[in-house]
Amino acid sequence: MIRILSYLIITIFTITYSLAQVKTEEISINNQAIQLPGTLSYTQEKSPLIIWVHGSGGVDRNGNQPQYIKQFREAINKNNIAFFSYDKRTANPKNVAFLKEDGVLIIDFINDVKEVVNHFKNDDRFTQIILVGHSQGSLIAMLALENVDKYISIAGAGETIDKTLVRQITKQSPIYGAITAKYLKELTETGTIKEVDPNLMSLFAPQNQPFLSSWIALNPVEEIKKVTIPTLLINGDKDLQVQVLDAENLKKGKPNAKLVIIKNMNHLLKHIEKEEDNLKSYASPDFALSQEIINTITTFVLKSNN
């Protein structure tokens, strides 16, 4: 009888929980001329708010074709945690003219995040602000923690980006890995790369070089030593781009951070059982998110700081 009663209570709770209505608002935040339109979603007021900080490239609020940010939003909202993500400045066509004229440095992405945090910092609907930085966003969020209560790094590099790029490209082609190392050395020492192999132009095009220089100058392991708020470090063991070692290096920089390595999770937070599905998940929204990352983040966000 007790077992039946417990089942009924759990069932009623689950039905009530699943029926919680998600409210959404379309919000556009400006960093001077740069427009950062995004979506806020929440089920109730007086809840914590996660702000997503994108990885590299022109990533929109939903995570482009694989839709991993949209999936994350839907899953985290079910746990009564509010969520805001925006179209990165490089994903919004309205910003193109300004980007061509002024270029982009990593400080620009950092300032974008600060503007977003400033928009929400006095919003009484939310009890705390948590920055979740994914991939490149791990470092960007790390440098934008004013008025933030907690920090989460997902698949963040634990070394300077020049070392990561050499490792990633060498894995695909040792020859181009060696050329990449040469170019990055030239860029660091002179501020420019005079001649670029056409096969590496997408990475080392002249307009990209100032951004790379500004990124190389930042060491995540040194920067995380300055973080004073509760910190969660997450990496998946199926990540093709960022090693578990990177998360372990960040942990060495901040020993009191919580480190979680998630089994069968790839770089896009997808649960991967078959190796051949790892790359497929980059082009499809049909692969499910890892449930473990949702559970891990929910526990960290809702846990009292005391």
Q: What is the pLDDT of residues 250-305, one digit of tens each?
A: 999 999 999 999 999 999 999 999 999 999 999 999 999 999 999 999 999 998 75
Q: What is the pLDDT of residue 96?
A: 95
The per-residue pLDDT for 260 is 98
Give the pLDDT of residue 264. 98
Check pLDDT > 50 for residue 16: no
Checking if the pLDDT of 41 tops 70, the result is: yes
Mean pLDDT value of segment 195-205: 95
Over the range 262-291, which residues count as b (16 or more CB within 10 Å of their CB) and which as e?
beebbbbbbbbeeeebbeebbeebebebbe
Higher pLDDT, 173 or 306: 173
User: Dihedral angle at the C-alpha atoms of 178, 184, 187, 192, nearest 10 degrees?
Assistant: 60
Question: In this predicted structure, what is the pLDDT of residue 2?
Answer: 44
Whether 155 shows a pLDDT value over 70: the answer reads yes
Q: pLDDT tier at 8 (50, 70, 90 boundaries)?
A: very low
Q: Please enumerate in sequence order all residues whose Cβ is within 8 A of that of 149, keeping only pairs 6 or more positions apart, or say none.
A: 48, 128, 129, 130, 229, 230, 305
| Residues facing residue 85 across a β-bridge | 39
Whole-number pLDDT of residue 191 = 94
Task: Find where tokens 């809702």 sit.
Answer: 302
Question: What pLDDT does 22 receive?
Answer: 95
pLDDT surpassing 50 at residue 15: no
Share of the chain above pLDDT 90, in %: 91
Q: How far apart are CA 207 and CA 199, in angstroms?
A: 16
Domains of the chain by range and CATH? 21-159+219-302 (3.40.50.1820), 161-217 (no CATH)
- Write down the pTM of the prediction: 0.91
Mean pLDDT value across residues 100-115 = 96
Which 8-state DSSP code applies to residue 103?
A: -
Predicted pLDDT at 305? 55
Mean pLDDT (whole number) for 49-70:
97
The token pair at 102 is 């002024």
Cβ–Cβ under 8 Å, residues 104 and 110: no
17 pLDDT higher than 60: no
